Amino acid sequence: EAENPRVRLMDRFELTETQANAILDMRLRSLRRLEEMALKTERESLIAEQKELTALVGDEAQQWQRITAEIRDMKAMFAKTDSRRTDCAEAPQIDLDAAEMLVEREPITVICSEKGWIRAMKGHQDLEAEYKFKEGDGPAFIFHAETTDKILAFAENGRFYTLNADKLPRGRGFGEPVSLMVDLPADVDIVRLMKAMGEKMLVAASTGHGLVVPVEAALAQTRSGKQVLNISGTARAVACCIADGDMVATVGVNRKLLVFGIDEVPEMTRGKGVILQRFKDG
């Protein structure tokens, strides 16, 4: 359609005048013939590749031959020019708590009264400071934690209850009873309140029985908590501490002290445990 197509061809494709004349003199049918030949060649190539892949899918031996050949080619290409920078090993198991990832990590001070009223104050407050409680009530547990922590409450019935630190009532009021957050019976007191830390804990009953329990095994997912130390009759749980040493010291109200290795105490997720110390009168 151009007024001077020869000049346009020469400028656009850097052709000589002879080449431009040859193209302009070529019949359209010849151009179509060239295009048809190119399409046929491509089709034949694709059909051949299809046959090769079909045969490869149906022959396992041929598949391994292909893999071997490709690995050999890769080795020849990279072995001399580069050293291995990765190790072949099992992928590590990553335990992610999606709920914890959504909680902003902030320091808090957890305060729980003798009658089981719990609250959290922003920041790490002075643990020796005086805090307000209801009339007739007083401090029982005060410790530093973070909003992403799990709080463990060990009760006289031998059960562990789990509280989310970010769900604790805030402010400078008296807080709320723990029994509103978990199914803690009204006649059962909290023996120990602490944030879940360390690997193991030592728990003991008034009968002198005790056991070692992994911290992870004590975490409960429901309001009813998790039974760890089996209690019967008038017995009650009386002690809970982090088992981070290799020795245990027990003392009763009779003021008798006994020291022994913690390896003598069985590690269990639930049970009565063994007798840590025999008492005649306490």
* Domain harbouring 36, CATH code: 1.10.268.10
Q: Does residue 89 sit within a domain?
A: no
113 and 251 belong to one structural domain: yes
pLDDT digits (tens, 9 = 90+) for 40-53: 899 999 999 999 99
pLDDT digits (tens, 9 = 90+) for 60-95: 999 999 999 999 888 887 766 666 667 788 888 776
Query: Whole-model pTM above 0.85?
Result: no
Q: Does residue 262 sit within a domain?
A: yes
Q: Look at residue 6 in the predicted model and tell me its pLDDT.
A: 82
Model confidence band, residue 27 (pLDDT cutoffs 50, 70, 90)? low
- Residue reference for tokens 């490869």: 56
Q: Does residue 121 sit within a domain?
A: yes
135 and 43 belong to one structural domain: no
53 and 107 belong to one structural domain: no
269 and 133 belong to one structural domain: yes
150 and 24 belong to one structural domain: no
The region that residue 136 occupies, defined by phi over 0 for left and psi between -120 and 50 for alpha, beta otherwise, is left
Range of the domain at 197: 98-275
The 10 Å CB-count burial string (b at 16+, else e) for 177-193 is ebbebbebeeebebbbb
204 and 267 belong to one structural domain: yes
Q: Does residue 77 sit within a domain?
A: no
128 and 264 belong to one structural domain: yes
Q: Does residue 26 sit within a domain?
A: yes
pLDDT digits (tens, 9 = 90+) for 113-122: 999 999 999 9
Q: 53: Cβ–Cβ under 8 A, 6 or more apart, which residues?
A: none
Domains: count for the chain:
2
41 and 173 belong to one structural domain: no
- Helix/strand/coil (H, E, C) string of 25-94? HCCHHHHHHHHHHHHHHHHHHHHHHHHHHHHHHCCHHHHHHHHHHHHHHHHHHHCCCCCCCCCCCCCCCC
261 and 144 belong to one structural domain: yes
